[in-house]
Amino acid sequence: MFSPKLLMSKAAFCVGDVIAEVNNKEIDTAIRHQGKEMPYLEYIDADAAWNCISEFKIPTCVIVKDRNPCGIASRDGMLEAYRLAVKGDPASAIGGVLAFNVEVDK
């Protein structure tokens, strides 16, 4: 069980050989569209999301919470993929990390 102190720990982010490449991009190229700076465990969730999303060739959205995918969907439109991914587990989607394998706008 993680302690509350660990959940809110500050994170250090290393760039280079220690970061797995995903679709010829590294996780440090990801864009955070909203929210506060991410704590340590959310970086782990983001890494899990990148690894999951890299398996798909068609437009896909994945939501990861506590290192587990709690919703994933593929559709031609990213808004529909997002809506379906949230339906996978709406309660866990709150506070989860979202990843898309195509560029999205705000």
The mean pLDDT value for 76-99 works out to: 93
pTM of the model as a whole? 0.71
Specify the 3-state DSSP secondary structure of 92.
Answer: helix
Each residue of 48-70: pLDDT tens digit?
998 899 889 999 999 999 999 99
Would you state the structure tokens that stand for residue 9, as one six-digit string? 């720990």
Each residue of 93-102: pLDDT tens digit?
998 999 999 8
**Confidence at residue 106, expressed as pLDDT on a 0 to 100 scale:** 65
Domain 4-100 classified CATH 3.40.140.20?
yes
Domain boundaries, the chain: 4-100
The mean pLDDT value for 77-93 works out to: 94
**Confidence at residue 44, expressed as pLDDT on a 0 to 100 scale:** 87
CA geometry: angle 84, 64, 19, nearest 5 deg:
130
